[in-house]
Amino acid sequence: MTQHPVRAARRERLAQLGTGPAQTAGTAPSARRGRLQALIGGRPRRPRRIAMLSVHTSPLHQPGTGDAGGMNVYIVELAKRLAELDIEVEVFTRAIASDDAPTVQLAPGVLVRHVTAGPYEGLVKEDLPAQLCAFTHGVLRTEAGHRPGHYDLVHSHYWLSGQVGWLAAERWGVPLVHTMHTMAKVKNASLAEGDTPEPAARVIGETQVVEAADRLIANTAEEAAELSHHYDARGDQLAVVHPGVNLDVFRPGSRSAARAALGLPQDAAVLLFAGRIQPLKAPDVLLRAVAVLLARRPELRERLVVPVVGGPSGTGLAKPESLHKLAAQLGISDVVRFHPPVGQARLAEWYRAATALVMPSYSESFGLVALEAQACGTPVVAAAVGGLPVAVRDGVTGSLVHGHDPARWAAALEPYATAPELVRERGAAAARHAAGFGWDTAAAATAEVYAQAMARPAGGLRLA
């Protein structure tokens, strides 16, 4: 097969890159740095500094509303851990307010750069392709202000960033590593009722990014297979790196104390939804299932609580009150409680307070929320889609449900609402399972992918 001209040009640049030790992030904790260095075995040719691209959502934004979600958490945690590996990270994102500072130090060795591209307000994600030229100009102009070779690698997140990363990597002669997070063809194959299909322009854009990337990081082997099947990704591009969870924040604790802090009854059966309120995440499936469950077991109404923690986003913005109306129509407004998005520490309290976390999503590349809840010792009832079968061990740390029939979901939820011993047993197993998904491991594996991209073509699909 003829080598892609963009990758060939970049490889000429890669041959000239030095292999000396990184000089940045010197203030990162030495103990953690030593642990991370041990994980990657001190392999040579790691980048000194990378440009990380997140066009449509900033790592500084609160997850759970707007376009901020699991990808924001992913970028923040990965960037911090890479900095502790002495890989300096500069995150480029679009400015959405006139008072956004040009640069913000997120953590030692992690700098967020706000790029002006289009109006500050009033743009939705679907409008952003028209602003990619302006965003690319801002990225290239930043690099031009430094000595040649300022960035050793580009890591783009989501297809919009991939379009920018493709051009920047070609211009700078460095490798392009890309993480999809979600894919149009996969989402369109499992749309929720009434949801809007992803446009053809996105499919074309994703195809172009896959063709241009030196490495594609997939969250699971299933996602890697989807990249190969839907986008003709080659085995020598693909690496599987499971995302992590911040085990310092999300950890087991007192359920009683968490419920007291949140004003929840101590004897309640708490079925929690946490995330963005949009058709893709299917919170309506949870509400319909609760209505079926209460029809079967009316005595549960006295102690059933269904918190919905998050705000509308994406296609959910068109009807922000639709979930409230649905709860009223189903006659369950007395058990459903709506709460705005919260920070990680408060979110951990919600997880600890919950009897079970419920994730009825139609599509998930991985499902970081499922890992976070399990790390807090809470079992998860999730749809058997995307990466959730990796995040959740069916029958051990929670339950996987096939399809989105409310009656089937009601049957899956009933044991968690009625069997405290089951909740304790699976909650303990969930905490043990999640402990194997620390961000230190994910960052070390990602650094290995970077080293491979800088050194040589990969030899095929592998678990990093």
Q: For the chain, what are the domain ranges?
A: 5-244+440-455, 255-437
Give the count of alpha carbons within 13 A of 45, CB side only: 15
More confident residue, 351 or 310: 351
* Percentage of the chain exceeding pLDDT 70: 85
Residue 21 has pLDDT above 60, yes or no: no
Q: Which residue numbers belong to the known binding site?
A: 56, 62-63, 67-72, 125, 158, 182, 202, 276, 281, 342, 351-352, 354, 364, 372, 378
Diameter over CA atoms, the chain: 71
CA-to-CA dists, residue 283 to 54, 207, 273, angstroms? 27, 31, 7
- Which ranges of 189-321 would DSSP assign to H, the alpha helix? 200-212, 221-231, 255-262, 283-296
CA-to-CA dists, residue 179 to 7, 44, 159, 165, 385, angstroms? 17, 23, 8, 11, 19
- 179: region left, alpha or beta (phi > 0 left; psi from -120 to 50 alpha): beta
pLDDT at 384: 96
Mean predicted confidence (pLDDT) in 366-387: 95
C-beta of residue 452 within 8 angstroms of C-beta of residue 458: yes
- What one-character DSSP code corresponds to residue 15? T
Q: Strand pairing of 103-107 and 110-115?
A: antiparallel
C-beta of residue 170 within 8 angstroms of C-beta of residue 211: no
Please give the CATH number for the structural domain made up of 255-437: 3.40.50.2000
- What one-character DSSP code corresponds to residue 438? B
User: In sequence order, what are the beta bridge partners of 178?
Assistant: 156, 216
Residue 107 has pLDDT above 60, yes or no: yes
Domain 5-244+440-455 has CATH 3.40.50.2000: yes
Q: Give 249-285 pLDDT, tens digit per residue.
A: 999 999 999 999 999 999 999 999 999 888 989 999 9
Nearest CA among 166, 150, 169 for reference residue 158? 166
Dihedral (CA of 382, 268, 279, 313) sign: negative
| Polymer length of the chain | 464
Mean predicted confidence (pLDDT) in 335-345: 93
- Least confident range from 27-41, 91-105, 193-207, 409-423: namely 27-41
C-beta of residue 287 within 8 angstroms of C-beta of residue 327: yes
Element (H, E) at 380: strand 380-383
Q: Which residue numbers belong to the known binding site for Mg(2+)?
A: 351-352, 354, 378
pLDDT at 27: 38
Cβ-in-10-Å burial (0-12, 13-18, 19+) of 255 comes to buried
Measured torsion, CA atoms of residues 201, 203, 209, 215, in degrees rounded to the nearest 10: 160
Distance in angstroms between the alpha carbons of the first and the last residue of the chain: 25
pLDDT at 268: 97
Nearest CA among 21, 24, 17 for reference residue 43? 21
Q: How confident is the model at residue 28 (pLDDT cuts 50, 70, 90)?
A: very low
Q: Which residue numbers belong to the known binding site for UDP-N-acetyl-alpha-D-glucosamine?
A: 62-63, 70, 276, 281, 342, 364, 372
Please state the separation of Cα 43 from the chain's center in Å.
Answer: 27
More confident residue, 38 or 418: 418
Please check whether the two domains, 5-244+440-455 and 255-437, share a CATH topology: yes
- What one-character DSSP code corresponds to residue 25? -
Measured between alpha carbons, how far is 231 from 211 in angstroms, rounded to an integer?
8
**DSSP letter for each residue of 243-279:** --B-TTTS----HHHHHHHHT--TT-EEEEEES-BSG
Q: Which residue numbers belong to the known binding site for 1D-myo-inositol 3-phosphate?
A: 56, 67-72, 125, 158, 182, 202
Q: Give 378-407 pLDDT, tens digit per residue.
A: 999 999 998 999 999 999 999 999 999 999
pLDDT at 5: 53
Instruction: Determine phi and psi for 453, rounding to 5 degrees.
Output: -65, -35
Instruction: Determine phi and psi for 111, rounding to 5 degrees.
Output: -115, 130
Measured between alpha carbons, how far is 396 from 407 in angstroms, rounded to an integer?
22
Q: How confident is the model at residue 461 (pLDDT cuts 50, 70, 90)?
A: very low
Residue 41 has pLDDT above 70, yes or no: no
Nearest CA among 364, 358, 369 for reference residue 389? 364
